[in-house]
Amino acid sequence: MYLPKYGAWERQERNRLILDYADAGMSAGTIRQALAKARGITLTQRHIQRVINRERSRTRPTTHE
């Protein structure tokens, strides 16, 4: 049975939370405040935006015409 390292799992959960907030229409600044308040996580707005962009580019469907 595979178990990821705790740090990797924690980052994955954090990124899922960031994406959930982004899907709800929150800006990077608002997400930053929500993470700090709810989980004590401090990230820059730029880092949050990179997480959003990277994850959306991975899940964006490709069109073949």
**pLDDT in the model for residue 17:** 95
pLDDT digits (tens, 9 = 90+) for 2-61: 877 999 989 999 999 999 999 999 999 999 999 999 899 999 999 999 999 998 887 666
What per-residue confidence (pLDDT) applies to 63?
Answer: 58
Length in residues, the chain: 65
Q: What is the pLDDT of residue 62?
A: 57
Q: Where are the beta strands (DSSP E) in 1-65?
A: none
Burial of 48 (0-12, 13-18, 19+ CB in 10 A): buried
